[in-house]
Structure 1
Amino acid sequence: MSHKIKAQSFLEVSHQFKLGELATEKQHPKTIGLSDLSKNSLELALSAVKEIELDLIDTALFKQKEINQFSLDVQEVLSEGGRVFLCGCGATGRLSLALETIWNKSGAHKGRVLSFMAGGDVALIHSIENFEDHPDYGERQLSDLGFCESDLLIAITEGGETPFVIGAVEAASKVSSKPPYFLYCNTDSILSSAVERSKKVLENPGIKKLNLSTGEMVLTGSTRMQASTILMLVTGQAIFGLNQEWVLKLKHKLESIDLNILKKFIVSESDIYKSNGGVVYLTDAALGISVLTDTTERSPTFSLIPFEENDKDTPDVYSLCYLSLVGEEGAKKAWSALLGRKPRSLEWEDTRALTALDRLYRFDISSTSFSKRSSYCSGEQFKFNISLEDNRLKLSLMEHAEVIDFEEYDLLSIHLILKILLNTHSTLVMGRLGRYESNIMTWVRPSNNKLIDRTIRYILILLKEKGVEKSYEEVCYKLFEEMENAKKDDPLVLKTLESILGSIS
């Protein structure tokens, strides 16, 4: 199929994915120029990020009355012997899996909280392109897990418009006697006017809604940051039955941490990559899923080569970083240890090449991954150690080390703080590598309709800054032309921008 036909096909449905009016898709005024700050003033960059992260906890505190009712509903299902299902796509899918893992590792009853993400567990480590665009896939995965009348679904979507999640929540409302919850981070009025499928959910009396609007993201459109953090915080608060005092304690902990401790790690890791080296994150089963989440989400956000399937002696290409689960021998044991359960894959005939269990096991995250990487990567590999010992979080890279005391804090709190630290760290590392401009993701990978729209909008913003006016349609055709021969790690925003500017110079 030619690029023109593909572009036309997208344009025919693009009205369903034009999301530029949503707050989660807009530029944050406090982080304009973040790329320059990451290179020239890390202190200011870290200060801006911390202020925004604290704002999201204030949002959770402001919403405590609604969150309390949400928690009561969740606890009622658990007390009656029902199960709570969590689902999402991309970042919200990973936070759903993380919450199930934290539940399993916290001594709670296994099997009472279940999670699934678009594409199954394989999508945790490698994005499954276009999967989230299919509402029927959401319904299908929910059904495959045996969702029934006594169960409750918590459907989690940063923007509030993801077709996969909408498909799952609409299906759940017809199966269970417990009305499902729909969690999202944009205002109802704008969401309803911009996206018809969202309007249907918001107007459905059989679905309970919880709006957790946090405003713009630190990095424009990068909902792996504030949006997914507040969604993880609030959903975790509900399934563990935690109160407002727990949220206040979490905020106090974040306030007490000087994010400047990250400076030496940010500089060192970015310098390693500039020297053609790589980083293997060594961690334990207690923290593994949060470390894996941040490292894998760098790929779609910044158009990096994703984690390689390192079952081969010499992979053709490989990622900048990888994960090694300390003390776990073999991929199968490592994955079970990381998830706190056996992996769940999709063995569907039409998707199994991408979603099957045997593919997941080709990503060997066991204790041998550092030595494997050292054998086939051209540059030197460095160990970034992240461990939890006696409720003390330990970070070390090269000669740098830091310890954060989490005495009297639960595992959920530790994971939330670690998520914020890692998201901040990786975003500023990528800024130093030039993987975004100002606070716009110029290296975003357009792997689904939502991201195609986002890519087009970013190109239009940059063209306008240069005094060039082009239509949405013109940019769309040029983008698909560039996509036709692009490599996985090409900066398609920049390549398309250069092509358009070159044609008018």
Structure 2
Amino acid sequence: METLENRGYLLTEQINPNSQNLDELTTIELVDLFNQEDTQTLKAIANARIELAKAIDLTSESLSLGGRLFYIGAGTSGRLGVLDAAECPPTFCTPPDLVQGIIAGGTSALIKSSEGLEDQKEDGASAIAERKITAVDVVVGIMAGGTTPYVHGALEEAKRRGATTISMSCVPLEQVEIIADVDIRLLTGPEILAGSTRLKAGTVTKMALNILSTGTMVKLGKVYGNRMIDVAVTNRKLHDRALRIIQDLTSLNREEAGLLLEKSGKKVKLALLMHWSGLDEKICDRLLNDHQGNLRSALLASNKP
């Protein structure tokens, strides 16, 4: 007869002593308890700062060499990876295949529970093989409890192919061994609702993914100061943001900024380089290509005799 592994020892499965009477709290007490427990996410990020920085450096280096970034997970962890990947094209104007999210069960698992699929280790390995992952790619395995077979299979296959591997989990090293180049442990303690890792574990994972993807894009030159100069101008809101970025960084008024944006083909970075260097669109485009899209480097080169 098949026996199920007892995972009650995992930090993410333990009982939170602060919420033993959860069903007896008043509504305001319930809200206050959530607020109090969520402060653990900030501490967890601070304690993982060295590993997060290493992950950013390795990821930006790989992507600068033509690699891709993959997030892979099951259930909530998989959905968070897909969400972060989906935000990269509009925020940083990245091609859709540069940052990809993989979830056990595929697209349907985004809206319908398919947690049973996380037990298939070979499916995780197959997901990596199907995407022809190579040594210049980066694979981030996301699993709150650190034991998801699907993700372990993916990380093992990615490592076999020479890719950079990163893991994100919410359990201490001594509870679960995870083989990865960077092992990020986000320890937020037991959940208010025992075992419900969509709560603190989910929140801290989203925070870590925000840091990883944004930090990587900063390193790749997709940010100038704190402005998203590679924003994709695809709707009225983003068009307005593009105009404001150009106005903030230049002395142009809104009408002038609009004309410059149109002249650049709605590329904020290119528009700024054209304005600051006084060079035409083709030369500025070439300068940016020569400097891997880094505006500061391209601008410096444009001023050289």
* Cα separation, 2, equivalents of 1:80 and 1:32: 51
The whole-number CA distance in structure 2 between the counterparts of 1:26 and 1:105 is 39
Which digits, 9 at most, give the CA deviation of each residue in 1:48-77, with x for residues without a partner? 101111221122023212211111111112
Q: Secondary structure at the match of 1:241?
A: helix
Q: Specify the alignment match of 2:126 in structure 1.
A: 140
CA contact (8 A) 1:169 1:207 kept: no
Question: TM-score, normalising length from structure 2?
Answer: 0.68
The one-letter amino acid of 2:169's match is: Y
- Matched with 1:125 is 111
Query: CA shift at 1:218, angstroms?
Result: 1.8
CA contact (8 A) 1:70 1:238 kept: yes
Alignment-derived partner of residue 155 in structure 1: 141
1:20 aligns with 2:18: no
Per the alignment, residue 34 of structure 2 pairs with 49
Matching residue within 130, 136, 150 for 1:164: 150
Secondary structure at 1:231 match in 2: helix
In structure 1, the residue matched to 2:22 is: 34
Question: Within 5 Å, which residues of 2 pair with 1:262-281?
Answer: none
2:194 equivalent in structure 1: 220
2:214 matched residue in structure 1: 240
Task: Name the SS of the counterpart of 2:183 in structure 1.
Answer: strand
Q: Distance in 1 between matches of 2:40 and 2:216?
A: 20
- Identity over aligned residues, as a percent? 25
Instruction: For residues 258-291 of structure 1, give each alpha carbon's deviation from its aligned partner in whole angstroms, at most 9, with x where no partner exists.
Output: xxxxxxxxxxxxxxxxxxxxxxxxxxxxxxxxxx
Is residue 2:173 matched to residue 1:185?
no
Q: Deviations over 1:113-151 (max 9, x none)?
A: 011110111111112252111100001112222322211
Counterparts of 1:472-491 in structure 2, within 5 Å, are none
SS in 2 for 1:190: coil
CA distance in 1, matches of 2:175, 2:138: 27
Contact 1:74 1:152 in 2 (8 A): yes
Partner SS for 1:188 = coil
User: Aligned partners of 2:62, 2:93: CA distance in 1, in Å?
Assistant: 15
Matched with 1:74 is: 59
State how 1:59-98 maps to structure 2 within 5 Å. 59-98=44-83
User: How far is 1:242 from its partner?
Assistant: 7.2
Equivalents in 2 of 1:131, 1:167: separation in Å?
12
Structure 2 counterparts to residues 302-381 of structure 1, below 5 A: none
Residue 229 of structure 1 corresponds to which residue in structure 2? 203
> One-letter code of the match for 1:240?
T
- Give the letter for the 2:81 counterpart: S
CA distance in 2, matches of 1:145, 1:120: 13
Aligned-partner Cα distance in 2 for 1:73–1:19? 32
In structure 2, the residue matched to 1:105 is 90
State the Cα deviation string for residues 7-66 of structure 1 (Å, max 9, x = none): x32x2xx2xx311011100111222211222xxx11111011011112211220232122
Residues 1:129 and 1:73: Cα distance change in structure 2 (over 3 Å): closer
Q: 1:166 to 1:185 in 2, by over 3 A?
A: same
Q: Which residue of 1 aligns with 2:265?
A: none
Residues 65 and 149 from structure 1, CA distance in 2 versus in 1: closer, same or farther, beyond 3 angstroms?
Answer: closer
Match of 2:67, as an amino acid?
G
Instruction: Give, in whole Å, the separation in 2 of the partners of 1:242 and 1:137.
Output: 28
* In 1: Cα distance, 2:19 partner to 2:193 partner: 7
Alignment check: 8 A CA contact 2:54 2:182 kept: no
Distance 1:129 1:66 in 2: 28
1:384-439: CA deviation from partner (whole Å, max 9, x where unpaired): xxxxx89xxxxxxxxxxxxxxxxx9xxxxxxxxxxxxxxxxxxxxxxxxxxxxxxx
| Residues in 1 aligned to 2:10 and 2:115: alpha-carbon distance in whole angstroms | 23
Distance 1:77 1:64, change over 3 A: same
Q: Helix, strand or coil for the counterpart of 1:85?
A: strand
Task: Check whether the contact 1:72–1:238 (CA below 8 A) recurs between aligned residues.
Answer: no
Tell me by how many angstroms 1:179 deviates: 2.7
Give, in angstroms, the shift of residue 212 of structure 1. Answer: 1.3
Instruction: Normalising by structure 1, report the TM-score.
Output: 0.42
Contact residue 149 and residue 175 of structure 1 kept, 8 A: yes
Given that residues 75 and 238 in structure 1 are in contact (C-alpha distance below 8 angstroms), is that contact kept between their aligned partners in structure 2? no
Distance 1:107 1:208, change over 3 A: closer
Per the alignment, in what secondary structure is the counterpart of residue 175 of structure 2? helix
User: 1:209 is paired with a residue of what secondary structure?
Assistant: strand
What are the ranges of 5 or more consecutive residues in structure 2 without an aligned counterpart?
A: 218-233, 239-244, 246-305
Alignment check: 8 A CA contact 2:12 2:197 kept: yes
